[in-house]
């Protein structure tokens, strides 16, 4: 209970601070519309269409590989906390798990998914 209250109070206070900052900028700043000012900044050139298009597939690859490994890292935390109680059995189990993780990493590495060029 005390724990949740501390989280909630901090969230409310920080949220309020951030909200006030954004709205203060609205209130205090001047507002002068100008067609040139409203353009997307592309170093002086008139922008050629919308930016919401396609981008390099490598970023998708990174994101997908990240999700696989990150979810596996999450499983390490409960094990790390209970490590002393689990003893050698826990270590053997986790080594098997890390072996699977390692095989996955080697596979991704060999396939060249981690190469950027």
Partner 1 sequence: MLTIVAVAAIKALIVIGMVLNLAGILGWVERKGSALIQDRIGANRAAIFGFAGAGLVNTLLADPIKFLTKEDVIPRGVDRLLHTLAPCISLFPAIVAFAAVPFGDRLVVGDLVVNLQAVELDVGVLFLLAMTSLGVYGVVLGGWASNNRLSLLGGIRGSAQMISYELAMGLAVAAVVLTFGSLDFQEIVRRQGELIGGWIPAWGILYQPLAFLLLLIAGIAETKRAPFDLPEGESEIVSGYFTEYSGIKYLMFFMTDFVEIAVVSAVVTTFFFGGWQVPFLTAQGFVFPWGGTLALPHLVVVLLQVAAYMIKVFVFCCLQVLVRWTMPRLRYDQLMWFGWKVMLPLGIGNLVVTAFVLLLVRG
Residues that bind partner 1 (CB under 8 A): 2-3, 5-7, 9-11, 13-15, 17-19, 21-22, 24-26, 28-32, 37-43, 47, 50-52, 55-56, 58-59, 62-63, 65-66, 69-70, 73-74, 76-77, 80-81, 83-84, 87-88, 91, 94-95, 98, 101-102, 105, 109, 114-117
Least Å from the CB of residue 86 to partner 1: 10
Least Å from the CB of residue 85 to partner 1: 9
For residue 37, the tally of other CB atoms under 10 A from its CB is 8
d(CA 113, CA 3): 43
**Whole-angstrom Cα Rg for the chain:** 25
C-beta separation of 89 from 83 below 8 A: no
């Amino acid at each position: 209970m005390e724990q949740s209250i501390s989280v909630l109070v901090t969230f409310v206070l920080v949220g309020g601070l951030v909200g006030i900052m954004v709205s203060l900028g609205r209130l205090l700043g001047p507002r002068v519309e100008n067609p040139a000012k409203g353009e997307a900044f592309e170093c002086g050139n008139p922008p050629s269409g919308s930016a919401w298009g396609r981008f390099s597939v490598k970023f998708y690859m990174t994101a997908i590989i990240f999700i696989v490994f990150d979810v596996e890292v999450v499983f390490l935390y409960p094990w790390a906390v209970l490590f002393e109680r689990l003893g050698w059995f826990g270590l053997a189990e986790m080594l098997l798990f890390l072996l699977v993780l390692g095989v996955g990493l080697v596979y991704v590495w060999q396939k060249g998914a981690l190469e950027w060029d």
